[in-house]
Structure 1
Amino acid sequence: MATPITNALTIDVEDYFQVSALAPHFPRQSWESVPCRVERNVDLILGMLDAAQAKATFFTLGWVAERFPQLVRRIADGGHELASHGYSHERASAMTPDAFLADISLAKAVLEDISGRAVTGYRAPSFSIGMANLWAHDTIAQAGYAYSSSVYPVKHDHYGIPDAPRFPYRLASGLIEIPVTTMRWLGRNWPAGGGGYFRLLPYSVSRWQIAKVNRDDQRPAIFYFHPWELDPGQPRVSEASAKTRFRHYVNLERTQARLRRLLTDFRWGRADDVFRDAA
């Protein structure tokens, strides 16, 4: 039998109150006074990965790293890849090039200083690199990153470049972009890389999509989720819109069990290892 493909498991390390959709209810100046749950949730994930003998990439906010340095060290010491999610979880599309460079450079410096390891990967908050700010890729390379995973080749109301390549590609700057996985079906790209779709749809859909990409495209998938998605006990924001509440809270109580199945059904590794020779 052929050796099973190893897919890349990625975690966007941010707390529940740092999600872009909840920004109106948690302004950045209030973050210091909001109870954090990210350490508890990431420790839960680390335990699940250890039990499954799987490795992953943790795209971590600099803001979180400064406040939980021991957590950052536990991630790195566990053999996982420590990567950058920027410092303050501001969307790349909402920043000037200079402000964006300052944010991602600070995050890289903070993560490297705490972990003692080089940080080569970056993911923009909310996949906020689109056709209007493609300059961001050059800025990421300028900041010293080797790869980005900031493009989702789908049509979505908040992000996406539907016509972007589905698999890793190298830009003129030398930066490699690793798009979040999509499945080609009925003439269009369908989200197959986790996030809210993993919670909203039955688990069998995610399993089918990843298996189809592995089998038909003969390519590894890159899958993502957030620590708060395993935390049904997080505080609820009743003032948020019905659409936001649905997207954020749907099936939180089911995610942990689904993730355990995912870890069993596929082989998982770090993004930097899985895609080392991809582009």
Structure 2
Amino acid sequence: MTLPAVRSNALTVDVEDYFHVAAFDTTVSSDNWAKLPQRVERNTERLLEQFDHSQAKATFFILGWVAERYPQLVQKIHAAGHEVASHGYNHAKASVQTAAEFATDISRAKALLEDITGSAVTGYRAPSFSIGKSNEWAFDALAEAGYLYSSSTYPVVHDLYGTPDWPQQPYKRPEGIWECPMPVLNKAGKQWPVAGGGYFRLMPYWLSKKCIDSYLQQSTAPYMFYFHPWEIDPQQPRFNAAPLKSRLRHYTNLHRMSAKLDRLLHDYQWRTVREVYQAYFV
């Protein structure tokens, strides 16, 4: 099958620092975050330069903790024509918060980002895709807080997250909010993750591209890619006390990510979630 000559895909960045990741929850206390070397600002600025060179636009799901410390970074993202969206405030998984804690977290992050940019923030992504059957009440909270869409579910089987029996297409929830799940490739009776993240770093580029192309042939829904600023930073401090599995997931191929990202930006057309999914949101 011949792919369309031009098809816009959604490029997304979860803006958090290397010490925020869930893999290090048991290694690094949030009480010590501010004491650690901060690298998110420069890494994100490098991405802005990379995106500008490729004329790519992206949605930046920004952690409130980061935005509060680097408001000028949020302004720079907004001024460059990218979409500013919310990643919550404290990077706490939605699945470990109470309904009241979650409502406070997402409202605090939204208000902070809107104060910095002067524009409405309508998108949200839960840390670690942590909305599922046990906390569907999160969609009520998101709708009440004024969000238009969420990108907080991944219909795969995974040891840390996953909603394999939930829709794979964008859909409007009964609560009134749109959910845009991460894309999966249906092959050999299974649902394979093809949305980037650690898989993109771990796999050779040719295989990632083959998976993306297969998805574009298979699905009429938009393709969405995600990653983090720390993934282009091989010089980041190392947490040697973290579990081996976490270290392997986090540190493998960091030195190759920037070049692979260049190839990805060249091979496909990238726009914001709001633009790519607009036909659903109307």
Of residues 81, 89, 93 in structure 1, which corresponds to 2:95? 93
How far has the Cα of 1:2 moved from its partner? 4.3
Shift of residue 25, structure 1, vs aligned partner? 2.1
Query: Distance in 2 between the 1:166 and 1:206 partners?
Result: 19
Distance 1:240 1:32 in 2: 19
Retained in 1: the 8 A contact 2:170–2:221?
Answer: no
Structure 1 residue 57 corresponds to structure 2 residue 59 = yes
Q: CA deviation at 1:180?
A: 0.8
How far apart, CA to CA, are the structure 2 residues paired with 1:266 and 1:157? 30
List per-residue Cα deviations over 1:9-39 (Å, max 9, x = no partner): 0000000001111122221111111111000
Question: What stretches of structure 1 move > 2 A for 4+ residues in a row?
Answer: none
Deviation at residue 133 of structure 1 after TM alignment: 1.1
Q: Helix, strand or coil for the counterpart of 1:24?
A: coil
The corresponding residue for 2:23 is 21
Question: Is the partner of 1:8 in helix, strand or coil?
Answer: strand
Report which stretch shifted further, 142-151 or 211-220. Answer: 211-220
Is the Cα–Cα contact under 8 Å of residues 5 and 219 in structure 1 kept in the other structure? no
Q: Give the superposition deviation at 1:276.
A: 0.8
One-letter amino acid of the structure 1 residue matched with residue 228 of structure 2: H
CA contact (8 A) 1:213 1:220 kept: no
Q: Partner residue of 2:180? A: 178
Q: Percent identity?
A: 53
RMSD, matched Cα? 1.1
Where in structure 2 are the equivalents of 1:248-267 lying within 5 Å?
Answer: 248-267=250-269
SS at match of 2:19: helix
TM-score, normalization by structure 1: 0.98
Shift of 1:139: 1.1
Aligned equivalent of 1:78: 80
Aligned partner of residue 9 in structure 1, secondary structure: strand
SS at match of 1:277: helix
Match of 2:142 in 1: 140
**TM-score scaled by length of structure 2:** 0.97
Residue 3 of structure 1, CA deviation: 4.1
Give the letter for the 1:225 counterpart: F
Query: 5+ residue gaps in structure 2?
Result: none
Count of residue pairs the alignment pairs up:
279
Q: Report the Cα distance in structure 1 between the residues aligned to 2:152 and 2:51, rounded to whole angstroms.
A: 24
How big is each residue's C-alpha offset from its partner over 1:211-246, in whole Å with a ceiling of 9 and x where there is no partner?
112122133201100000000000011111110100
Tell me by how many angstroms 1:174 deviates.
Answer: 1.5
Kindly indicate whether residue 198 of structure 2 is the aligned counterpart of residue 165 of structure 1.
no
Distance in 2 separating the partners of 1:151 and 1:205: 24
Distance in 2 (alpha carbons) for counterparts of 1:49 and 1:2: 22
What one-letter code is carried by the residue in structure 2 that aligns with 1:5? Answer: R
Tell me, what secondary structure is at the counterpart of 1:157?
coil
Where do residues 122-133 of structure 1 align in structure 2 (5 Å cutoff)?
122-133=124-135
SS at match of 1:18: coil
**Pairing partner for 2:199 from 197, 210, 221:** 197
